[in-house]
Amino acid sequence: MKNFSRHLIKKVGIMLLTLWLIITCTFFLIHSLPGSPYVNQEKLTPAQLEILNRQAGLDKPLPEQYLIYFKNLARGDFGTSFQFKNQPVTKLLLNRVGPSVQLGFQAILTGTVMGVILGMISAMRQNTWVDSIVTIIAILGRSIPNFVFAVILQYLFAVKLSIFPIALWGKFSYTILPTITLAMAPMANSARFIRTEMVEVLNSDYIELARSKGLSHWQIACRHGLRNSLIPLITLLGPMAVSLMTGSLVVENIYAVPGIGEQFVKSIITNDYPTIMAITILYSAMLIIILFVVDLLYGLVDPRIRVTGGERLAA
């Protein structure tokens, strides 16, 4: 128990240090971007710019701005948006995080389930036409950019067939096309990894023992093959889930989804420093937490893995 507590404290310390480094690097990088956060800068006089900079605290030296920002951040204050005047960044993101998280959750769930099923079928029908079709689907899903899928799905199911809405945000039907678009990458990756791992697992000695006990092909695949194939998939899906849940920049713009991805694009174009910082911190914190959870999930998926003295040992 003592070793586990020490390991946990060490992990949390590394997480906080990583987050601090990301915040620091992002802060100084975005302030080096060309341009100004004021949209009508060319129409403003030097005196007006000076007043605006003083009000926003941009007239101070950059190290002093950093210290002020970090002090406010420690109190949970992400600042006020330059793009939307007098709009707190926290409130701005809270209004947009829902659609992004919903689409990301639906996409990762749909893509993973479909990918696992396709990967299992492909492994169990190795070197057949079924295996070839699944491999082609996985290659296409991984190679073709999601914005291409978005345009194709819009044209086929919204313009030609008029089954789903072409864009905007509303009822559940508005989420189907963007969910399918975002699910293509997780589906392709899941199918590829499960197929590769299960082919290796199904040729192991203990699988032959399971067959000799009279277990069916599907029982062997589900009880033994799938469970032992999930570890590399969990490692892959952790960061991908965060990426999807914090918003896909292009897909959200194509489908006019009022999510974080769309806001991030607008913030970069307008040099909205507080909003860029807040979205970066949100993404980084979620990614760090997910990676930590994935590290803990290893022991649940494979009982042979244990954490002892801060090191992962395979029995």
The CATH H-level superfamily of 102-271 is MetI-like (1.10.3720.10)
Q: What region does 247 belong to: left with phi over 0, alpha with psi -120 to 50, or beta? A: left
Q: What is the DSSP string of 97-127?
A: HHHHHHHHHHHHHHHHHHHHHHHHHHHHTTT
Rounded distance between C-alpha atoms, residue 310 and residue 117, angstroms = 35
Rounded distance between C-alpha atoms, residue 255 and residue 305, angstroms = 43
pLDDT at 308: 43
pLDDT at 105: 85
CB 183 within 8 A of CB 111: yes
The structure's pTM equals: 0.72
CB burial of 31-59 (b: ≥16 within 10 Å; e: otherwise) equals eeeeebbbeeeeeeeeeeeeebeeebebe
Rounded distance between C-alpha atoms, residue 152 and residue 136, angstroms = 18
290 three-state secondary structure: helix
Q: Which residues contact 256 (CB under 8 A, 6 or more apart)?
A: 167, 168, 169, 262
Rounded distance between C-alpha atoms, residue 297 and residue 274, angstroms = 34
Q: How confident is the model over 40-69, as a mean pLDDT? A: 77
Mean pLDDT over all residues of the chain?
Answer: 78
Is 142 or 297 the better-scoring residue by pLDDT? 142
Tens of pLDDT, residues 183-238: 888 888 888 888 887 777 777 666 666 666 666 666 666 666 676 677 677 777 77
pLDDT exceeds 50 at position 307: no
Is 194 or 315 the better-scoring residue by pLDDT? 194
Q: Which residues contact 52 (CB under 8 A, 6 or more apart)?
A: 38, 44, 58
pLDDT at 312: 42
What's CA 276's distance to the chain center, in Å? Answer: 17
- Categorize the per-residue pLDDT at 21 as very low, low, confident or very high, splitting at 50, 70 and 90: very high
Tens of pLDDT, residues 84-111: 777 888 888 888 888 888 888 888 889 8
Count other C-beta atoms under 10 Å from residue 144's C-beta: 14
Tens of pLDDT, residues 61-78: 888 889 988 888 888 888
Query: For residue 126, which of 137, 135, 117 has the smallest C-alpha distance?
Result: 135
pLDDT exceeds 70 at position 6: yes
pLDDT exceeds 70 at position 283: yes
Q: How confident is the model over 19-26, as a mean pLDDT? A: 91
pLDDT at 314: 38
Q: Percent of the chain beyond pLDDT 70?
A: 78
Is 51 or 152 the better-scoring residue by pLDDT? 152
Q: Which residues contact 195 (CB under 8 A, 6 or more apart)?
A: 118, 119, 120, 122, 123, 131, 134, 135, 138
Helical ranges in the chain per DSSP H = 2-30, 46-56, 62-74, 89-124, 129-143, 146-153, 173-202, 205-212, 217-220, 227-245, 249-254, 260-269, 273-301
- Categorize the per-residue pLDDT at 311 as very low, low, confident or very high, splitting at 50, 70 and 90: very low
pLDDT exceeds 70 at position 30: yes
Rounded distance between C-alpha atoms, residue 306 and residue 31, angstroms = 44
Q: How confident is the model over 249-274, as a mean pLDDT? A: 81
Query: For residue 278, which of 102, 88, 65, 67 has the smallest C-alpha distance?
Result: 88
